Structure 1
Amino acid sequence: MFKRVLIANRGEIAIRIIRACQELGVETVAVYSSADADAVHVKLADQAINIGPADATRSYLNMAAILDAAQLAEVDAIHPGYGFLSENADFAEAVIKAGFVFVGPRPETIRKVGNKDAARELMKQAGLPMALGSDPVNSLEEAVSTAAKIGYPIIIKPIAGGGGKSMFVAQNEADIHTAALKIDFTTAGFYLEKYIANARHIEVQIVADNYGDVIHLGERECSIQRRNQKILEEAPSCVITPEMRQKVSALAIRAAKSANYTNIGTVEFLMDKNTCEFYFMEINPRIQVEHAITEITTGVDLVKTQLRIASGDPLPIRQEYMKFNCHAIECRINAEDPDNSFLPSPGEITFYHQPGGPNVRVDDGVCTGSIVQPYYDSMIAKIITCGRTRGDAIKTMRRALSEFRIVGVKTTIDFHRKLLDNPYFCSGDIDTQFIAKRMTPSSED
């Protein structure tokens, strides 16, 4: 195991990694921007190094500054967390060339799965099912003609990047022209795909060591989204049967093996609610925000597993011994104003009290007195609850949300409370358009 690890991230994921390292007896080095000088992750690490100003491009996205900090601190490895440089193959390559271990997949794998067009072609060759799609389009005119061939509705997706950003659903040609006001088709940075309406977003957690062994840790349901951004996740999915789970998990393992995958990652699928068929979406080569619900349902610490695999250990678990013990739900708490189009709500947190009690876990990156910065992602905490059944997990989450107190900034706590009281959500009748259909003033209750 490593002696010292640098965490190239901030907020709750940096704290999550610090805690895993502490339990493994590994020293931690935090990096921070000038805006984050008093952040919780800075205080918890054994050592902290300023890597630049508030602008992320000059700090958390500054590869040279991070590598200089790693050299200065004499670390063995760098953990990228999620976001920022976590899916940047050039960064992973630079880390290795500088003599450190990158805690994640190999650079060539990140490069392979990070380009959506190349990933789709690779998965086609591996025999994974996927929605009808196109090659990269080079102009608005080509996008219009390609969409007509595929048939509406279509979804416009960026070739690079993840997290549901810069995606647009087009019901007709006029929608493509509207999308063109926000994106530049001439960069050939986008492709088109047949849009599957009423789909559920199902992802499978995979774990792979450096010796060719790959297992899955079950699926997560991530269908509750706003503008393609996940808001609530749960594990397992309430509609996946044992036979369906076996099918989608086998597809995920096949996808991982075809990409020569190592460390942990997520294979994401859309499931057609009408046919129950799965369609490959993408592979996320990093720890996911929602990793905690898999940890709760399986008892496997994914961050420790990342570190053990990166240090050269074989898989510490075998597929035949995997058990799924409960149902878990995660609510992302963002510093946003749900009554004002979810606009970010930066500022000082003047009072902070997190929920507790049985079957409640909170992963956060703030405390009373913390400043929610306007420069970074608005997520400040995650609440994870579990129960013997989905209904039990929902009841515990309702109680936990009622206990959570954050003063000084607007948050999504009350929005989640309304969500968990929605009868359609409680019945499991959800899909990726749930919030638009069921959580707007015109929605039926």
Structure 2
Amino acid sequence: MYKKIGWFLVFFSLVLAGKASAQEMTAVSSKELREALSDPEVSVIKLQSGIYEGNFLIDRKVHIIGDKGTRIMGTEKGHVLTIAADDVIVENLEVEGSGSQNAGIYVKGDRAFLHHIALRNVFHGIYARNSYGHRFENNLITSFHGINRHKGFGIYLIEAPNTAVKENYFYHTQDGVYVSYSDFCEVTGNLMFKARYGVHTMDSRNVLIADNQVTESINGLMIMQSYEIFILENYFFKNTAIDGAGIFIYDTFDSKISSNIVIGNFRGIILENAKRNRLEFNNILQNDTGIEIGKNSNDNTIYLNNFSGNTRQVISEKDNRNLFSKDNYGNYFDDHHLLNLDHDHKVDFAYKSGDVFYQMADDEPLLQIFYQSPAVELWNMIEQYTPIPSEAFIIDESPLAEPAPVKQKTFISEKNHISHSGEYPLILFFFLITSASVLIFKFGRKHNEI
């Protein structure tokens, strides 16, 4: 009896093993990849290192895993990979060769998980449309090579809500991440270099943009026609185009901009038709203009920010009405003369900034030739300390005597982001050699003592 049960269990385990092995297939050519994609029994496809030529359609749930050096080379017409099924996972590939207006990976199924993919020489990197719930993580994305070809977006979301874009590296794209009509998305921990805009939102609500770095682009962020955007703990530096800024908030409402480092940009932050937003605990440093508040930007609360080393701290259209202090706390300005007789947290007289020259140059653009001239600098300094009131002035009634504490993270350069992964084997090798040397030394010493 027990012998029969034993043989039954052995036979049953062999059947299960055969079924499990039938669900996984290894491909070594484009033909075998197409066969695996068309076989409904195969749930995992492993691609050996090599080049797989052609465009491929994924129309059922599957998990594709590439060996190191696995390359999908598209036909330079259409999308290279099209994901039309739900719950597809693709990892560890190199994807190249899309059409002139197409993507390396086009996603129209729900809940795709794409990670550790290098997308090069494509128009858009990843393009998700009319789908939701995706995770795009740890990918390297750039557009077409050369300056004569139009570039697309690194990751392009259209009506793709609840999508997370995390820990990717973008360079030489039109926009790093473009979020359009896509609510409840997350863009966190990405590095973006030489784009038009690092992150661009349009007609979206409740989007988290946090822990990103954007440099050498026109605008670090371009937030347009959006609501309830949370911009937290990002690093925007050296975005120095003449019309650009670290953060551009346009036609956007009820958002929070907090704990960002905005340094060395042409303009730090621009508000244009921006209302009911809250800017707090930001370091706005060494920009040509710290904050520029354009037309129809009202009811914003701007307090507990640090302005230091900017050529102009804050300029504003004279008809705007915004709050620069709250609960007796304003902002810190490094050019504000300190007079604090009662030794509390604020300077004893209000800070004024408006730049009447800015107002005049807006009406007469030819006056811009005098910008940053000694005469204009002297004029602005006199405006700062004159007791004569003016509608052009921004008034901070409670300027801080010391900088506000801003939460800052340690940011890494794009060079370090790419190269560190290759250093770990070298570090491990060095550790093993050192350990072996110590052991040999100790053993040899002990042997000689004997």
Provide the TM-score with structure 2 as the length reference. 0.22
| Greater percentage in helix | 1
Greater relative contact order (Cα < 8 A, sep 6+):
1
Query: What's the TM-score once normalised by structure 1's chain length?
Result: 0.22
Greater C-alpha radius of gyration: 2
Q: By percentage of residues, which structure has more strand?
A: 2
